[in-house]
Homo-oligomer: A and B are copies of this chain.
């Protein structure tokens, strides 16, 4: 590590309290959907302090709403802006987008939390609260890394484009809006909670709804009807087959340790209203995983074909084919090769700080990275502090040490990627 790098690392190590306080303030402004403004105000204040060029805007214009990838049921985005803070480089270096989402998922049962979900309570090196892991810890790490570079007098050739976006948990309209506003770069880093793993590829996903018809009858003469429950069981069986086939066909080494890389999850089933009636309608809803190597359309077509083949093999279903709908949000998969410069640059910094190589996997969930990759045409790596397991849970927390360590790794990587002028 050269002196410039050492200075940057030292800054982070000497300013842990600062970083902790920043995260605590972000968590305390509970930014559930529709209430992102106060947490964004904390971000804006920090960006101002760092002297970044600020771009603050309310998303939701016609260009966004009419984009084919736009997917949101939110009527009103006013008062809760996207925030971008740019540190212009001196020219000639690679640029990078540093993207974090400010929105958090609902807290669920308040009473189940040991502390108030927005307390930011600290105990045994952990900071508790909704959003601590997903992903205000990651965002704080980005800001801390940038602060360390700036305060250490580092001058970069390439641009740092810090983005604090809304709507990630509800389909990604915030990041899509930033892309449409023109923000592009040579690479992007999203510090979602990967527990310090590298996710160059991400599973995409879509929600489906399948409706199966039957014929009502009295339960005592159930043979006079057609049970929608029996018929939907055929469909569920078929989806299990499809999942098996799709995963067997996948031979990406990044998935080798994942039991079901692209799962088809049946999350919900509803049929019937009366114990002694034969139900005439069954509805299942679920989530279909999309492989990094395929398009959303490929995946849709795979399911629709499987369901319609299955229907053909059943006398009733062939005459009353089940309907397949795609509803709610769609998450694009992300796909970056492991030898991409973005991955190797981060891996080098990772090794410098942790004396080991990173674990490189494909993520089991999608991120806003799908938009950056598929719409913004920007290579994306997902790497950050905190564990997925805690992300949407009661008593969510983050290990502060992981947050600081990731800030160190990111700071070093930015010096290499965007090139330190002083080197």
Interface string of A318-349 (1 = CB under 8 A from B): 00000000001000000000000000000000
Q: In chain A between 349 and 374, which residues have their CB closer than 8 angstroms to a CB of chain B?
A: 364-366
Confirm or deny: A275 has a beta carbon within 8 angstroms of a beta carbon on chain B: yes
A273 contacts the other chain (Cβ, under 8 Å)?
yes
Of the candidates B208, B272, B285, which one forms a contact with A268 in the assembled complex, judged by CB atoms under 8 Å apart?
Answer: B272
Write 24 A-B pairs (CB below 8 A) sorted by A numbering: A205-B220, A205-B276, A209-B275, A218-B392, A220-B263, A220-B365, A221-B263, A221-B365, A222-B263, A227-B265, A233-B236, A233-B237, A266-B272, A267-B273, A267-B275, A267-B278, A268-B271, A268-B273, A268-B275, A268-B279, A270-B270, A275-B286, A276-B286, A276-B287
A289 CB contact (under 8 Å) in B220, B230, B236, B365: B220
Nearest-CB distance from A326 to chain B (Å)? 11
Is there contact, CB below 8 Å, between B271 and A227?
Answer: no
Indicate if the CB atoms of B267 and A274 lie closer than 8 Å.
yes
Digitize A201-217: 1 where CB-to-B-CB distance is under 8 Å, 0 elsewhere.
00101011100000000
Given A203-B220, A205-B219, A220-B364, CB of A265 within 8 Å of CB of B236: no
Chain B's nearest CB lies how many Å from the CB of A285?
4
Contact indicator A219/B263 (Cβ below 8 Å): yes
| Across-interface contacts of A286 in B (CB, < 8 A) | 219, 275-276
Which of A207, A218, A237 has most chain B Cβ within 10 Å?
A218
A259 interface residue, CB < 8 Å from B?
yes
Q: Is the CB of B269 within 8 A of A207?
A: no
A7 within 8 A of B: no
Confirm or deny: A277 has a beta carbon within 8 angstroms of a beta carbon on chain B. Answer: yes
**A260 contacts B by Cβ under 8 Å:** yes
A interface majority secondary structure: mixed
Verify A269–B269 contact, CB threshold 8 A. yes
Q: Counting CB contacts under 8 A, is A398 at the interface?
A: no
Q: Which residues of B contact A237 (CB under 8 A)?
A: 233
Q: Which residues of B contact A263 (CB under 8 A)?
A: 219-223
Residues of B within 8 A of A287 (CB): 219-220, 275-276
Q: CB within 8 Å of B: which of A176-228? A: 203, 205, 207-209, 218-223, 227
Bound-state Cα–Cα, A328 to B274, Å: 11
Cβ-defined partner of A272 (8 Å) among B203, B205, B269 = B269
Of all chain B residues, which has the CB nearest A240? B230
For residues 375 through 423 of chain A, which have their beta carbon under 8 Å from a beta carbon of chain B? 388, 392
Q: Are A265 and B205 in contact (CB under 8 A)?
A: no
Q: A265-B275, A268-B279, A269-B269 are in contact. List 9 more A-B contacts (CB 8 A).
A: A205-B276, A208-B275, A219-B263, A219-B265, A221-B365, A265-B276, A266-B272, A268-B272, A268-B274
A233→B240 CA distance, assembly (Å): 12
